[in-house]
A and B are shown apart, each in its own frame.
Chain A
Amino acid sequence: MDNHTSPHVDRSADQIDPGRRSALRCMAWAGTGLVWTVAGGVPFAAGLVGGGAQAAPAAGLTFVQISDSHVGFDKPANPDALATLREAVAGIRDLPTKPAFILHTGDISHLSRDEQFDAADQTLKDLGLPVFFVPGEHDVLDDGGGAAYLARYGKGPNGKALGAGWYSFDHGGVHFVALVNVVNLRGGGLGTLGEDQLAWLAGDLKSQVDSTPVVVFAHIPLWTIYPEWGWGTDDGARALSLLRRFGSVTVLNGHIHQILQKIEGNVAFHTARSTAFPQPAPGSAPSPGPVKLPAEKLRGALGVTTVTYRPKASPLAIVDATLG
């Protein structure tokens, strides 16, 4: 159950599903981005990107999660996904605490085309910050089934990415693990990590002591949110079991284009908004897919996430903020 009471996270939000223990929905958060603060090992929302009410502390490790840019998407739900990515980048640039780096949790492009990756890269480059990527299913649509993504992003930090692009790195006392769950998908199944990646993960975590805060990021949620729409990872529970011994684990995902959060034991799960278009709440529509909002409401449904880690304090601060 919820062992971590953070004053910065609204735990009074509705449950997703009364049958699902500890599954909280935080749909009401306003703002363009989610600013994460890791404090005492647990991430929590600290304030809004460009949205006022900034509660992020100045100290600690702060990074930003950005997701589902879908550069190239031009349907009615958002005729210019590159423009809203630019707005998200502008919001990050205006943050009171400069983030150390950016995590992009996938669907950088809409159709894995070079020009889409190029446009996203050019836009993100404006931040002058390191960006760590994982692919979404929209980033592995080339004939090589992800070869284009790997050619561009596959080296990871320090040239160490493996397999379909998974890797880990350490920053500010936190161990970061990038997982790929969008390749070699099976008919009728959900996201998949696969044996090779799980074996690598087990080995990677072996060198970490239990007290090391771990942040895991991947595109499709590692926890089962709504299998009817494919919102989960078939072997996600196996990854989570490898993480169980750690005192603080934060799982950051994208894919569903909305904020959902839950805390189970020492694991905090969080999904980020898209910078391109919203999707319906689980089960609230006949299918997932872009939701067309009135133009003036679109930016209120898009956003990025900022995370700050404070080693001496308690929880991570997570802040979601919309684009407008």
Chain B
Amino acid sequence: MKRFLVAMLLAALATVAKAETVEIRIDNFTFSPAEVHVAPGTTVVWVNADDIPHAVAANDKSFKSKVLDTEERYSRTVAGPGVIEYFCSLHPHMTGRIVVDGGTGGPAGR
């Protein structure tokens, strides 16, 4: 609960600063959406909707969440521009990517 409140507080502060938040759900061992385009300063929030724990780790080791049990969340404000590749450090076949550009927050149209 404490972690949740902290996450909410951080999200609220980020909202004051930049106003944009994008949620990525972890469901069925998949990051959804697996790729998002966001504007610099966006806060990305991962929510674990599985009944198994997951964790979010950047490929370049620039960040790593604590383990997220069911319904726990982790948020991070991305500076950018650039591409952030990440994976689940427990289940590394789970991968995702954040493209920080002028994006709309939705899935990338590639």
Residue contact B87 to A187, C-beta cutoff 8 Å = yes
State A288–B95 Cα separation when bound (angstroms): 15
B92: Cβ under 8 A from any A Cβ:
yes
- Nearest CB in chain A: distance from B72 CB, A: 11
Indicate if the CB atoms of B52 and A143 lie closer than 8 Å: no
Instruction: Give which listed residue, B51, B70, B93, contacts A188 with CB less than 8 A.
Output: B93
Task: Say whether chain B's binding surface is mostly helix, strand, loop, or mixed.
Answer: loop
Chain A contact surface mostly: loop
Which residues of chain B from 48 to 63 have a CB within 8 Å of any chain A CB?
A: 50-53, 55, 57, 59
In the complex, what distance in Å separates the CA atom of A138 from the CA atom of B52?
A: 10
Q: Is B66 an interface residue (CB 8 A)?
A: yes
Report the Cα distance A75→B70, complex, angstroms: 9
Task: Decide yes or no whether B91 CB sits under 8 A from chain A.
Answer: yes
CB under 8 Å from chain A, chain B span 77-110: 85-87, 89-95
| Interchain CB contact (< 8 A) of B90 among A138, A228, A286, A287 | A138
* A7 at the binding interface (Cβ < 8 Å): no
Taken together as a complex, chains A and B put the C-alpha atoms of A190 and B86 apart, in Å, by: 15
In the complex, the answer to whether A138 meets B53 with C-beta atoms within 8 Å is yes
Is there an interface contact between A287 and B66, defined as CB atoms closer than 8 Å? no
B28-A143 in contact (CB<8A): no
**What CA separation (Å) do A77 and B51 show in the bound complex?**
9
Question: Which residue in chain A gives the minimum CB-CB distance to B96?
Answer: A187
Q: Which residues of B contact A141 (CB under 8 A)?
A: 53, 55, 67, 90
Residue A189 lies at the interface, judged by CB distance under 8 Å to chain B: yes
Q: Which of A272-324 contact B (CB under 8 A)?
A: 286-290
Those 6 A-B pairs whose CB atoms lie nearest each other, nearest first: A187-B87, A230-B93, A287-B28, A287-B29, A185-B92, A75-B51
9 new A-B pairs (CB below 8 Å) besides A187-B59, A188-B92, A188-B93? A110-B53, A111-B53, A138-B90, A141-B55, A185-B89, A185-B92, A228-B93, A230-B91, A289-B29
Interface residues, chain A, with chain B CB atoms under 8 Å away: 75-77, 110-112, 137-138, 141, 143, 185-190, 227-230, 286-290
